[in-house]
Structure 1
Amino acid sequence: MSKDCLFCGIVAGDVPSAPVAETETTVAFMDIQPGSDGHLLVVPKRHSTDLRDIPAADLADVAIESQRIAKHVFDVWGADGVNLLNSCGKDAWQSVFHFHMHVIPRYRDKTKDRLRLPFEPGMRGEAELIEEMAGSMRSALEAG
């Protein structure tokens, strides 16, 4: 636990939250600044700052619990879709530096869905740049 971490405070029960689920290694609770009705967060109980330092087992547990919850947003809340979102680093919109997965129900009814992501697919990328970047990532992954 990190003493200055908001989510560690929620995990410890020292900070009020609206809990949804708890496993041996994760806690899920409602987001107090929701992008849509039912927006919630799944966090590992053990503190990790972000995607770069979370142990693989904790990441797997968060992903599995996020999926379990996401499957229910359709029937429970009548969602039309769902996004799972993780932000890693301030420039990727991370504002609480305890790894967390957003489970964001999506609705056609925009009175329930206020989330607007800045990226909309549509413009085809430059093929040469895509292949160059694929090659550099393949090399890095092969090197370990």
Structure 2
Amino acid sequence: MTEATYDTDNIFAKILRGEIPSHRVYEDEAIVAFMDVMPQGPGHTLVVPKAPSRNLLDADPATFGPLFTVVQKVARAVKQGFGADGVTVMQFNEPASGQTVYHLHVHVIPRFDGIPLKPHAGGMEKPEVLAESADKIRAALRS
């Protein structure tokens, strides 16, 4: 099996370069967090390092400290902002795991007792809903 390489034209790389709009909730020198346009639940947020890597398997280990520091911040904010009962954090590596965008990213999804996640390919969310969700998360990050 040949090792796959990083594609600089993947959708997250384009979002990071500002070529595709996104509803950003957090950004620092190393990490960006934005709303997933095909959310599995209200508040589904993606946390993405700016450094290029296909996934966890080829990432520079120095990426993980800043990445997971922000994952924790965002997880706390989505739980607070949505009044969630819990938070699911997921990260996929290669097609067999379910990875569909080949730039390292972590899914952060507020969870509610008794409410299952929607399929990820469930369709695009309305921009106004994403904007409202982003506002809730940004407000929680400020508090």
Question: Which TM-score applies when normalising by structure 1?
Answer: 0.74
- CA deviation map 1:45-98 (0-9, x unaligned): 111001111111112211110001111222211111001110001010000000
Distance 1:29 1:100 in 2: 11
Distance 2:111 2:41 in 1: 7
1:102 alignment counterpart: 107
Distance 1:91 1:72 in 2: 30
Q: Does 1:70 align with 2:70?
A: no
1:44 alignment counterpart: 49
Give, as a single letter, the amino acid of the residue that structure 1 aligns with 2:117. R
Match of 2:90 among 85, 96, 101: 85
2:23 alignment counterpart: 18
Gaps of 5+ in 2: 1-5, 120-143
1:31 alignment counterpart: 36
Distance 2:44 2:79 in 1: 13
2:7–2:102 contact (8 Å) kept in structure 1: no
Distance 1:83 1:67 in 2: 11
If asked which structure has higher relative contact order (CA below 8 Å, sep 6+), I would say 2
Give, as a single letter, the amino acid of the residue that structure 2 aligns with 1:53. D
- C-alpha displacement at 1:109, in angstroms? 5.7
Task: Return 70-79 or 88-97, whichever deviates more.
Answer: 70-79
Q: List structure 1 runs of 4+ shifted beyond 3 angstroms.
A: none
2:124 alignment counterpart: none
Higher Rg of the two aligned structures: 1
**In angstroms, what is the RMSD of aligned CA positions?**
1.7
Distance 1:3 1:71 in 2: 31
- C-alpha displacement at 1:115, in angstroms? 4.0
Question: Which TM-score applies when normalising by structure 2?
Answer: 0.74
2:90–2:108 contact (8 Å) kept in structure 1: yes
How many equivalent pairs are there?
Answer: 114
- CA deviation map 1:94-144 (0-9, x unaligned): 00000000011111263xx5347xxxxxxxxxxxxxxxxxxxxxxxxxxxx
